[in-house]
Amino acid sequence: MKMMLFYELKKMFNLKKIIICGTSMIALCAIIFFGRASSLNLFENLPDIKQKLNIFSGEITSENMKPILQRYEEIINDPNHYTEVDGERIFTPSAEIRTEMDKFEYILFLHNSINSWPQRMIDRLQENLTDPGITPAQELLIKQNIEMLSKKGNLIVGYNLFYDYYNSFLKNFAPFLLGFLMLFFLAPVFSNEYATKMDGLILSSKHGKKGVIIAKFFAAFIGINAFFILVFGTYILIAGIAVGFSGGQTSFTTTLHDAFQYVNSPYNFTMFQFLLFSLAVSWGACIGFGVFILFISSKIRNTMTVSAISLPVFILPLFFYAVDNSRDEFTGIINFSYGRIMQVAPLIDRFNGFVLLGNVIMLKDVLLILLSVTTGMLAFFTYRSWKKREVAN
């Protein structure tokens, strides 16, 4: 098996491909990071951002926030920061004070908006519970939502810029890079055997109908892991070295650039937990999509056709979502796609559940179970497809 695996890997990767794809991916990860960093003047502003995010570290409670609120009130109430124009008092702080206030802005926003959001949601949901037209299933769902939101507790904040960059990469670029790598390397796994007419030789050999399949799956598995490590590993290294890895203990709803993206999430991850969870889910989606490509490859002898079928399955949902994500029923369907699962956000960005036989089932769990089941089924069909392959022409 080892020897077969070695040659399956050799077929999948050759030195030229490894060098071209490896360097391209590293370059792309660097371009993506530095592109975003430069558009936000990151390196110029990094000391300020650090100061802003570090102005308060720890759990947001009224008690903890007192000094900041006090200072803020002092500024607001200081008559020296006002000027009289046409009989009206206008707030005109000095540049120094303005900068100091800017630094409070983020933490106050988290305190005033994000930290209190779950409680406001709970209040709203409890109001909904009083609606006389509510069905038992809706009631169950609302109660479950309330229960999950009640467990969220206060936000834990601090400097977590690395996770912010990671999150942005996960949502915007990682699926595309991984998707293209998988298509490029996995599409020929079976189709190339048909195209080169090696299938006859392999299938007439002792391990040609079973051992080869296992070796091919193992090789694909190693490949997917390599792509995953290459893409995420490179980006995480670049981002971590550039902005530091700290912030793992902060709440995952406190990302600097898009704090609202998980505001409705009933889950209560820290940034580090989110990193691990999202990497695991994204990896699972990669395995699922990889097996999908192998399945198509086992059916079709032309590698280009395999890619032409697999690419839209991956890209179109992401494209449609980017174009129009305003309709819930539409996004609800495309959230079941590999690309969207790879982005992880749709699984946990809000309370998504339904009632089945009196139990609340979370969509996240359904998606992950479906992903596992379809991956298993496609793997089996791929095996069957190769094993029952007839060399006719």
Partner 1 sequence: MELFIDRLTKQYGAKLAVDRFTLKLSKGIYGLLGPNGSGKTTLLRMIADVLRPTSGEITVDGVDIRRLDEAYRDVLGYLPQDFGYYRDFTAIDYLMYLSAVKGLKKNRAEHQTKKLLAFVGLENEAKNKIKSFSGGMRQRLGIAQALLNDPGILILDEPTAGLDPQERIRFRNIISDISENKIVLLSTHIVSDIEYIAGQVIMMKNGELLKQGTVQELAELVMGKVWSFALGAQETEAIKAKHIIANLKHTENGVELRIVADNPPHEKAVSVPPTIEDTYLYYFNEVNAL
- The span from the CA of 189 to the CA of 212, in Å, is 11
Please give the helix or strand (H or E) that residue 349 lies within, else none. Answer: none
Q: How far is CA 180 from CA 186, 228, 377, in A?
A: 10, 12, 23
Q: Which residues contact 104 (CB under 8 A, 6 or more apart)?
A: 55, 68, 71, 72
Q: Calculate ∠ Cα 265-103-38, nearest 5°.
A: 80
Looking at the Cβ atoms of 335 and 382, the one nearer to partner 1 is 382
Binding mask 137-176 for partner 1 (x = CB under 8 A): ----------------------------------------
Instruction: Provide the 8-state DSSP code for 260.
Output: T
Which of 89, 197, 257, 384: binder of partner 1 (CB under 8 A)? 197
* Residue 188 or 339 with smaller CB distance to partner 1: 188
Contact 191, 275 (CB under 8 A): no
Please state, in angstroms and rounded to a whole number, the distance separating the CA atoms of residues 182 and 196.
Answer: 21
Q: Could you say which of 19, 137, 201, 369 contacts partner 1 (CB under 8 A)?
A: 201
**Contact between 205 and partner 1 (CB under 8 A)?**
yes
Q: Which stretch binds partner 1 (CB under 8 A): 18-26, 206-214, 361-369, 376-384?
A: 206-214
Distance CA 345, CA 337 (A): 13
Q: Does 199 bind partner 1 (CB under 8 A)?
A: yes
Please state the closest distance from residue 199 (CB atom) to partner 1, in A: 7
The window from 97-105, 203-211, 281-289, 306-314 that contacts partner 1 (CB under 8 A) reads 203-211
Identified binder of partner 1 from the candidate list 86, 88, 136, 206, rule CB under 8 A = 206
Helix axes 174-186, 188-195, angle to 10 degrees: 20
- Of 162, 159, 166, 163, nearest to 49 (Cα)? 159
Which tokens belong to 269?
Answer: 């991850």
Question: Is residue 373 involved in binding partner 1 (CB under 8 A)?
Answer: no
- Of the pair 215, 344, the CB lying nearest partner 1 is at 215
Asked if residue 301 binds partner 1 (CB under 8 A), the reply is no
Nearest residue (CB) to partner 1, 203 versus 370: 203
User: Does the footprint of partner 1 cover residue 357 (CB under 8 A)?
Assistant: no
Amino acid at 136: P
Structure tokens at 330: 């539409």
- What's CA 95's distance to the chain center, in Å? 39
- Please say which residue, 14 or 92, places its beta carbon nearer to partner 1: 14
Binding mask 3-42 for partner 1 (x = CB under 8 A): xx-xx--xx--x----------------------------
How many residues sit close enough to partner 1 to count as binding (CB under 8 A)?
29
User: Between 93 and 211, whose beta carbon lies closer to partner 1?
Assistant: 211
Window of 115-123, 193-201, 249-257, 351-359 that interacts with partner 1 by CB under 8 A: 193-201
State the DSSP code for 226: H
Which whole-number Å values give the CA distances from 138 to 125, 150, 362, in the listed order? 11, 18, 14
Q: How far apart are CA 74 and CA 31, in angstroms?
A: 44
Please select the residue that binds partner 1; options are 93, 211, 244, 248, rule is CB under 8 A.
211
Nearer to partner 1, 151 or 197 (CB): 197
| List of residues contacting partner 1 (CB under 8 A) | 3-4, 6-7, 10-11, 14, 193, 196-212, 389-392
